[in-house]
Amino acid sequence: MEKNISINESLKLLPDAPGVYLMYNNKNEVIYIGKAKYLNKRVKSYFTKRHDSPKLTVMVPQIQRFEFIITDSEIEALILESQLIKKHKPQYNVLLKDDKRFPWFLITDEEYSRIIITRKADKKVQKGKYFGPYTDSRAMYSTLELIKNIFPLKQCKTPRFKDRPCMYYQIGKCLAPCQKFVSPEDYNKTVKLVELFLSGKQNKLMEELKTRMEVLAEKQEYEKAARYRDSYFDVMKAVTRQKVISENTTLNQDIIVYQNDDLLMAIALLKIREGRLIAKEDFDIKLNRIHSPYEAFIAFIQEYYQLIDGSEISKELLVDIEMEKNDEEIITEWLSAKRGSKVIVINPKLQKKFELVEMAKKNVQASFENFKLIEINNLQNDWNDIGAYIQEKLELPEFPNRIECFDISHIQGTNTVASMVVFINGKPYKSDYRKFKIRTVIEGHTDDFASMKEVIKRRYQYILKTKVAENDKKIPDLIIVDGGKGQLSAAIEVLDELGLNELSIVSLAKKFEEIYLPGKSTPVIFPEGSKALFLFQQIRDEAHRFAINYHRKLREKTSIKSMLDEISGLEISRKKLLFEHFGDLEGIMNANKSELARIIGKYRGYKLYKHLHKDS
């Protein structure tokens, strides 16, 4: 496409066909790459619709021109999109690049293959069959040692000696192909056994080992038969350590779930092969403010399975979200084509598959908390530099040792509450957290400014009324209020009334992470990815979490006392179970009979469902 053609003229050239499009800025840099089932509809939507998402609000004004590549199918577009993103690394695409590169097993493409560990799965650089990636290096090396003990593959890239085998042959860990002690055909049979092991097909592997053992025993080749016998029992020991998920030995599933906040995302991938849980992989992703967790999740699936050999793809992919229809269709079609047989994507609601997803969610929750802890510890290690940067950027008179942050929470003005969280030297100080039930705003009315005024007044009026000596350490070096200019103005008005106008205060607006300072119209924006921005987001998210939890408890009490109290025989313990599982009354209302029955029993579940839907 000619570079001097206007966007409006270019839009007229868009075909009604699948393909990939590349967006360029005024520096002729690729800033975004996307795929489409119909290029004309998708690309035109960028320039003809009003956009609410932060990404498009920021990105679209920067587009100076675009190019497109027509493909034969949407699957081809998906594959091409992935390749082009890796090549250009556009600013506004989800780039799953982390500080670490996860290792893979590689069975090399040689006459006599070796099994090695590599940090890069690229068949153009190293030909062969890849298995992975593995996020637990310790477990990976343990697996490699087990494989070497069971299957005597070649371990040397080049022969150590010309006229004799090395010590690996002497200790039974190599078949000495360098000395032609084994034929390529027999050697490749052992390679196939390793592939079965790494693919999680242990039942098939054990059958193969047993068959070969029996055949060799019949031929009276007892030494070779003994080697297969030992391998058979070694594999059996490894299999018994794996958790049995199902008695169905044909069950092959991948379970992918995630947990996130505004900054961090943890993904857990559990692999079930032949009814056994054979592996759990954890992936940590740092989000940015222009991409949704859903976009990152879809990008992860595309990138992960792009590198996986088709034979490694399971029949079922279980996820814990409702995927958009187009995403589900294209991913299903792509994975099915790559596997060579049908693959289905399921967001299970009932019975065993639902329980598997719940098990995966428990795993990802633990991974997410560990990820957050690591990032917070990293902040604390650099606190002096981060604090000095914040002090300079926000023009603070004091180093921000103690930071207090406030957030308001309600639903359409009901059960309005506020939270205050405290961070000291970049670390949450939970013993000083406070929660407030708003008293001055009429129930059912939404007034965040009045609510912010009340909580700021109650907090710092209390500080003034108590002995100053006891509270010197509790005077904040910086106050953060969640919201924009309106919330900041409301808080400043109260501080002025209390004679505390010397306190430093700012507000943090979530949409573009803008920090507003008193008396200044232009906000301060910390660089994306900076530790200062990460700290502010962590503080804001912690205040939000604390407020939401308090609001949920009040709402649950109100809900339990109302609708559910009308049902005779429904104990308070079962009401709590319902709220713990479904979150709120709306979640309970939306549950079907089977879901309710699973939580509180069949009889009570059906009775509750009938009561909740008696007018429908």
- Answer for the pair 319, 346: CB distance below 8 angstroms, yes or no: yes
Q: Is the pLDDT of residue 31 over 80?
A: yes
Q: Tens digit of pLDDT for each residue in 557-606? A: 655 555 666 676 777 778 778 877 777 777 787 888 888 888 888 888 88
Rounded Cα distance between 39 and 70, Å, is 8
Q: Is the pLDDT of residue 356 over 60?
A: yes
Long-range residue pairs from 140-145, CB within 8 A, at least 24 positions apart, any chain: 140/103, 140/105, 141/117, 143/105, 144/105, 144/115, 144/117
Break the chain down into helix, strand, coil percent, rounded to 5: 50, 20, 35
**Residue by residue, what is the 3-state secondary structure of 44-108?**
HHHHHCCCCCHHHHHHHHHCCEEEEEECCCHHHHHHHHHHHHHHHCCCCCCCCCCCCCCCEEEEE
Handedness of CA 198, 203, 204, 208 (dihedral sign): positive
As annotated, the residues of the chain forming the CATH 1.10.150 domain(s) are 562-612
Rounded Cα distance between 32 and 41, Å, is 17
What's the average model confidence in pLDDT over 72-87? 85
What's the average model confidence in pLDDT over 537-541? 88
Q: Is the pLDDT of residue 506 over 90?
A: yes
Report pLDDT for 98. Answer: 47
| CATH for 382-553, options being 3.30.1360.120, 3.30.420.340, 1.20.120.140, 3.40.50.300 | 3.30.420.340
- Helix, strand, or coil (residue 129): strand
Structure tokens at 386: 């981060």
Core vs surface per residue 547-556: b (16+ CB within 10 A) or e: beebbbebbb
What's the average model confidence in pLDDT over 483-505? 91
Structural element, H or E, at residue 316: strand 316-319
- In degrees, to the nearest 5, what angle opens at C-alpha 348 toward C-alphas 346 and 349? 150
- Answer for the pair 569, 604: CB distance below 8 angstroms, yes or no: yes
| CATH for 562-612, options being 1.10.10, 1.10.150, 1.20.144, 2.60.40 | 1.10.150
- Answer for the pair 118, 104: CB distance below 8 angstroms, yes or no: yes
Model confidence at 246, in pLDDT bands (50, 70, 90)?
low
Rounded Cα distance between 528 and 490, Å, is 28
Model confidence at 492, in pLDDT bands (50, 70, 90)?
very high
Q: Is the pLDDT of residue 232 over 80?
A: no
**Nearest to residue 567, comparing CAs of 590, 598, 600, 595?**
600
Torsion of CA 376, 304, 190, 161, to 10 degrees: -60
Report pLDDT for 99. Answer: 42
Taking the domain 7-88, which CATH number applies?
3.40.1440.10
Taking the domain 253-372, which CATH number applies?
3.30.420
What's the average model confidence in pLDDT over 423-448? 81
Q: What is the DSSP letter of 350?
A: S
What amino acid is encoded at 140 in this protein? M
- In degrees, to the nearest 5, what angle opens at C-alpha 548 toward C-alphas 578 and 577? 10
Percentage above 90 pLDDT, the chain: 19
Rounded Cα distance between 475 and 172, Å, is 71
Handedness of CA 153, 156, 160, 161 (dihedral sign): positive
Prediction pTM value = 0.59
Return the top range by mean pLDDT from 42-56, 193-207, 385-399, 442-456. 385-399
Rounded Cα distance between 204 and 77, Å, is 36
Report pLDDT for 225. Answer: 76
As annotated, the residues of the chain forming the CATH 3.30.420.340 domain(s) are 382-553
Average pLDDT, the chain: 81
Rounded Cα distance between 483 and 510, Å, is 7
As annotated, the residues of the chain forming the CATH 3.40.1440.10 domain(s) are 7-88
Q: Tens digit of pLDDT for each residue in 103-151? A: 788 888 888 888 888 877 666 667 888 887 776 666 677 777 777 777 7
Among the listed ranges 8-22, 75-89, 297-311, 432-446, which one has the minimum average pLDDT value? Answer: 432-446
What's the average model confidence in pLDDT over 443-455? 78
Q: Is the pLDDT of residue 470 over 60?
A: no
Placement of tokens 């600013």 in the chain: 91
Report pLDDT for 558. Answer: 58
Q: Tens digit of pLDDT for each residue in 146-184? A: 777 777 888 888 777 778 888 888 777 788 888 888 888
Q: Is the pLDDT of residue 230 over 80?
A: no
Among the listed ranges 226-240, 286-300, 522-536, which one has the minimum average pLDDT value? Answer: 226-240
Distances (CA, A) of 447 to 165, 238, 440, 528: 82, 62, 10, 31
Q: Tens digit of pLDDT for each residue in 261-272? A: 877 889 999 888
Q: Is the pLDDT of residue 553 over 50?
A: yes
List, in order, residues 6 or more apart from 273 with CB less than 8 Å away.
Answer: 199, 200, 201, 202, 252, 314
Torsion of CA 85, 90, 94, 96, to 10 degrees: 70
Model confidence at 92, in pLDDT bands (50, 70, 90)?
confident
What's the average model confidence in pLDDT over 492-504? 91
Report pLDDT for 239. Answer: 56
Report pLDDT for 289. Answer: 65
Stronger pLDDT, 444 or 264, i.e. the higher one: 264
First to last CA, the chain: 57
- Answer for the pair 153, 144: CB distance below 8 angstroms, yes or no: no
Report pLDDT for 3. Answer: 54
- In degrees, to the nearest 5, what angle opens at C-alpha 207 toward C-alphas 244 and 183? 130
Among the listed ranges 9-23, 262-276, 469-483, 498-512, which one has the minimum average pLDDT value? Answer: 469-483
Rounded Cα distance between 242 and 606, Å, is 38
